[in-house]
Amino acid sequence: MKQKCQELLITLALSLLGLPAAWAIEEPVQLTSGQVSGVELESGVKVFRGIPFAAPPVGDLRWQPPQPVIEWSGVLVADSYGPICMQQRTTALMSEDCLYLNVWTKAKSRDEKKPVMVWIHGGGWSSGASVNLGSSSTAITGTYDGEAFADNGVILVSANYRMNSFGFMAHPALSAESEHGVSGNYGILDHIAALEWVRDNIEAFGGDPNNVTIFGESAGGASIYALLATPMAKGLFHKAISESTWITHDNVTHLTRNNGLSESAESRGQRAVSAKLSELGHSAKGDLLAKMRALSAQDILNLQLQVSLIEDGWVYPKSAAEIFAEGSQTAVPLIAGINNGEGLLFVRGPRAITTVAEQRRAREAEFGEFAGNLMDYYVADSDAEALSVEVDYNTDSWFARSTRELVQAMARTPANSFMYVFTRNLDDPTARSPHAMELRYVFDELPADASAVDQDIAQLMNNYWTQFAATGNPNGPGLPPWPSYNLETQQHQIIGAELGQGAFLLREQLDELDRYIRDRYNSAK
């Protein structure tokens, strides 16, 4: 009777939080840091929410690589999500102490050795969380809920990581303090710490530490790009899925010098910190590190800092692009792709360019002497076409170019690569698919009134992703054939209301964008 009452109370509490009905798991799981218990959903999926995977990065550990998790005694009740990492987007459920992860599993014993998928969220390396935030500051929605994946035969792990100025701050004073002489890339190091936790603990949940797939979208896709490039992550994963990789000339920097694409990361950080200290009436002289760590979390959030992946000589001995070009990245099977209307999300409202004259000025200011033939592709012939061309430019320059760079680099390795273009728009089936639209389908989290077409697409994508996690190939029984990507044919899968294959995605435009990036980079050598 007591157990039934406890289950009822848990179910009631979860319903109030908008979470699925569940009951407590009586048998705790033994981790390297202590014991943990979770809850079991009606589907039979067990979920463990808010497990720490590193020490709280606070106080003297602010702007330090993640440190080992602090062991605990007794049983940690993992029935609620941990705090999200600091960001401007919300004021609730947020803390610097945010290095927590979640596990969904349907394994009945630790001997099952199920494939493991590790989800890395997007948000421009500035916002987001391992579970998607709702519209209110206290709500959590199920957009990144792992139940569908677990129900489809894999174990899903999602983890927070430090972002914005907490996760990507470089500064000469921080570099001087470091035993490696570097700073920044803390968010990437958090990914690595989470993967090390998976290696050491996932077997206890019935997972296979030798069959781990990393996947992410937008900045999460850029994190996949980053993890493939860094030698520090080698051996921690065995397959990768990159959705809408977000790598531009603005978010790749060198630690100490202009790389032809942007000024140094340390210069960015030094300017941001100096401006904030001056605003607060403080000098940048004296014990600068102490003054930086004395800044409030809100002051750090308000720093005017452009985040970036940093070529620092440690996490990245060379630029990520050079690592891929020379073939020294981690060679594992890859899925990578884009939505056909990514840029729709970024050209709305006051940011929209609606005239040819305005568009031409913007392109001339950006491209300068390196423009080449880019004006032919990304300046419209008429005002009526300007907005559509702007969508094209944002789609191609931010996502398609970097995705092709990634898949072509991986196609030069012995591992299989697969490319896709997603075309479905849930909100308007007649329109192109904007940035992040595919997530509703990948996680099979559509509204209850979704059409049969949308439900079929969601099931297909979840099946492709889980089949790939299990075997390194999305093809399997009952699934539409998906050709592998190679440099000769350059085929990709079209996924939407209609399925098919295309080839040589946006070849002329992307070749010219590649040339532009290469010329900018070489100009600094």
Catalytic residue, chosen from 165, 218, 267, 319, is: 218
Reply yes or no on whether 342 is catalytic.
Answer: yes
Taking a C-beta distance cutoff of 8 angstroms, is the pair 196, 189 a contact?
A: no
Helix (H, G, I), strand (E, B) or coil at 311: strand
CA distance 91 to 99: 17
- Gap between the Cα atoms of 415 and 294, Å rounded: 48
Candidates 147, 93, 88, 155; CA nearest to 118 is: 155
Active-site residue flag, 435: yes
Alpha carbon distances (Å) from 489 to 387, 405, 408, 499: 32, 15, 11, 18
Catalytic residue among 203, 217, 243, 342: 342
**Phi, psi of 384, deg, nearest 5:** -65, -25
- Dihedral sign for Cα 129, 135, 138, 141, please: negative
Contacts for 346 with CB less than 8 Å, ≥ 6 apart:
394, 398, 435
Ramachandran angles phi, psi of 240, nearest 5°: -145, 145
Sequence letter at residue 149: F
Q: Residue 59: phi, psi to the nearest 5?
A: 60, -130
Q: Return the closest-CA partner of residue 131 out of 163, 188, 85.
A: 85
180 in active site: no
Residues annotated catalytic, as ranges: 218, 342, 435
